[in-house]
Amino acid sequence: MQKRLNRSRNWSSPFQILYKMSGKIAIIGSGFSSLAASCYLAREGYEVSVFEKNATPGGRARQLKHLGFTFDMGPSWYWMPDIFERFFGDFEKDTADYYQLDRLDPAYKVFFADDTLTIGAGMDRICREFERLEPGSSSPLRVFMRRAKENYDIAISDIVYRPGHSPLELITPQTIRHIDRFFRSISGEVRRGIKNPKLLATLEFPSLFLGAKPEDTPAFYSFMNFADFGLGTWHPRGGMYEVVRGILSLAGSLGVHIATESPVDKIRVTHGQAVGLEVRGRFHPFDVVLSGADYHHTETLLDPGYRQYSTDYWESRVFAPSTLLFYVGFNRKLEGVEHHNLFFDADFEQHVTDIYDDPKWPVKPLFYANFPSVTDSGMAPGGCEAGFFLIPIAPGLEDTPELRSQYFDLILSRLHKQTGQNLGPNVLFKESFCVNDFREAYNAYKGNAYGLANTLRQTAFLRPGLRSKKVKNLFFTGQLTVPGPGVPPALISGKLVAELIQKKI
Ligand SMILES: Cc1cc2nc3c(=O)[nH]c(=O)nc-3n(C[C@H](O)[C@H](O)[C@H](O)COP(=O)(O)OP(=O)(O)OC[C@H]3O[C@@H](n4cnc5c(N)ncnc54)[C@H](O)[C@@H]3O)c2cc1C
């Protein structure tokens, strides 16, 4: 396919009009992967139009504002700052052109039934905290972190920027040298020399971002621990949505057109080739269709004969969890909490079993609490605190107002027990978001929150592909394809698919 090379050219002759038409690309959805792809493609001169079903762009990273409070509706952990820099760097910009980043110190606090653990910024402080809980644990931790860093370097330089076409992509001198790390689990890896269950839970927590049980996650993914302890936890002032705003601004400057409240109803295919989209009953012709909407949903926009994956295929996949979320305005400041807090004052193994092995609502869940106004005063009115609570649950669970309310009470009572503050009377408002909302808002399969888990059998070339095998000029991006769930992988996914469309990879 040809591309428009000169954005300012005058399209007057019939040949030039044809030339221009051959570079029209439609993108379904406006999550991070779609927005990233839109920038790369527009920069190359394609005419890019994004169709988003919701009223605001950003996908799972949308923002909720209410009564002077600001909430990120999805992602709140800004990890792997190098990937964000690399994205903006590809456009000769840097993050500081769009938002201000602060390194959080402490990065987060973990509440256990009888103690707390604070993860500071920097290995020396983290080692001191490990020593407090288990004397002698800092030296196996440092060994573990050396391997984690090696894995990070291999992942970033050798693996994640590959398109997932073939197993050969995974075979490099580095990966061969450390092949065992793909077949051992992260769960075994963290137990090499460390025994304290609180430290083990803290080390296993980052792999939960990958959407699978630590026992099913390859040891190689300890690179997430390097992202955590090594690279640190950052906060874009104003929240994660500032990153979306930054990419929207970049996309706008490159000429990307974004249409919100524009749900795509059908991908039209003629003679095996994608020819455009039907949006609210109107046909829009395009030369290439790229979807950043959930992969399963995108395939339902095609006639059955053009779908690559069957119902049985999707049923047999390990999906990352769904979540029960609350966005809460408190009319007071909280004490004893940090910006990020993990409530691990419950049985970690049991909760993991309730998500993956025997899907049901957990009796005593772990949960995550984010109070961004602890470090960023702009996130809540003066004297108030913005609270975001997340309970990971199995996708597809029954979701009712009664269940949500029951779990909100449970969160408040656990907060009371752990911090000594009875916050029930201080709740100004609460909004919730769960399985039914994920289905409704994002067309998410079984209401999943984070897409497809990164297990060994669902890594790289074993994930659904970036290019349709059945429809010419139809492409996919986002957390269900390569490299996987999370904001940094979504940015990488957008770059990979843009390169594939340009036939650079
Ligand atoms: C609660 C939660 C917490 C998270 N926390 C973190 C975190 O702390 N750090 C981190 O790095 N990652 C986190 N993640 C993961 C991260 O947010 C996602 O991996 C990433 O944002 C996914 O981007 P995406 O482009 O793949 O898809 P999405 O953001 O899902 O975008 C897909 C878009 O397609 C649109 N769409 C769907 N169907 C149609 C249609 N028919 N027509 C038009 N548009 C359509 C949807 O509305 C949506 O806007 C979190 C996710 C959730 C849900």
Q: Best of 60, 300, 492 to mutate for ligand 1, by most ligand atoms within 8 A of CB?
A: 60
Pick the residue with more confidence: 180 or 425?
425
Q: Half-sphere exposure (CA, 13 Å, Cβ side) for 183?
A: 6
- pLDDT-derived band at 178 (thresholds 50, 70, 90) equals confident
Using the atom order of ligand 1, give the atom closest to the CA of residue 438. 53
- Provide the pLDDT for residue 279: 98
Q: Which residue has the higher pLDDT, 160 or 116?
A: 116
Percent of the chain with pLDDT over 90: 83
pLDDT band of 446, cuts 50, 70, 90: very high
Q: What is the mean pLDDT of residues 313-328?
A: 95
User: Nearest residue CA, atom 27 of ligand 1?
Assistant: 31
- Looking at the predicted structure, is the pLDDT value of residue 11 above 80? no
pLDDT of residue 3: 38
Residue with the nearest Cα to atom 4 of ligand 1? 75
| Close Cβ partners of 150 (under 8 Å, ≥ 6 residues apart) | 178
Please report the pLDDT score of residue 505 as a whole number: 64
CA dist 184 to 215, 445, 481, Å? 9, 29, 23
Q: So what's the pLDDT on residue 64?
A: 98
- Mean pLDDT of the 202-214 span: 84
Strand partners, 385: 330
Q: Which atom of ligand 1 is nearest to the CA of 79?
A: 11
Whether pLDDT at 21 is above 80: no
Please report the pLDDT score of residue 6 as a whole number: 33
The number of angstroms, rounded, from the C-alpha of 300 to the middle of its chain's C-alpha atoms is 23
Mutate to test the pocket of ligand 1, among 487, 493, 496 (most ligand atoms within 8 A of CB): 487
The owner of tokens 């004397």 is 135
* Residue 425 alpha carbon to ligand 1 centre in Å: 33
pLDDT, residue 159, reads 86
- Which has the higher per-residue pLDDT, 352 or 105? 105
Pairing state between β 69-72 and 385-393: unpaired
What pLDDT does 19 receive?
Answer: 38
263 CA: nearest ligand 1 atom:
42
Average pLDDT, the chain: 93
- What's the confidence (pLDDT) of residue 130? 98
**Which residue, judged by its Cα, is nearest atom 17 of ligand 1?**
75
Q: Reduced to 3 DSSP states, what percent helix, strand and coil does the chain have, rounded to the nearest 5?
A: 40, 20, 40
**Minimum CA distance residue for ligand 1 atom 31:** 31
Name every protein residue with a CB atom under 6 angstroms from any ligand 1 atom: 28-34, 51-54, 59-61, 74-77, 263-264, 292-293, 297, 323, 325, 390, 442-443, 449-450, 478-479, 485-487, 490
pLDDT surpassing 90 at residue 210: no
Contact 5, 465 (CB under 8 A): no
Order of all β-strands in the sheet with 282-285: 264-270, 273-279, 282-285
Cα–Cα dist 450/485, whole Å: 6
| Cα separation, 58 vs 248, whole angstroms | 9
**pLDDT tens for residues 370-423?**
999 999 999 999 999 999 999 999 999 999 999 999 999 999 999 999 999 999
Residues 151-163, mean pLDDT to the nearest whole number: 90
> How far, in Å, from the CA of 94 to the mean position of ligand 1?
23
3 state SS for 101-137: EEECCCCEEEECCCCEEEECCCHHHHHHHHHHHCCCC
For ligand 1, atom 15, which residue shows the shortest CA distance?
A: 486
Nearest CA to ligand 1 atom 5: 75
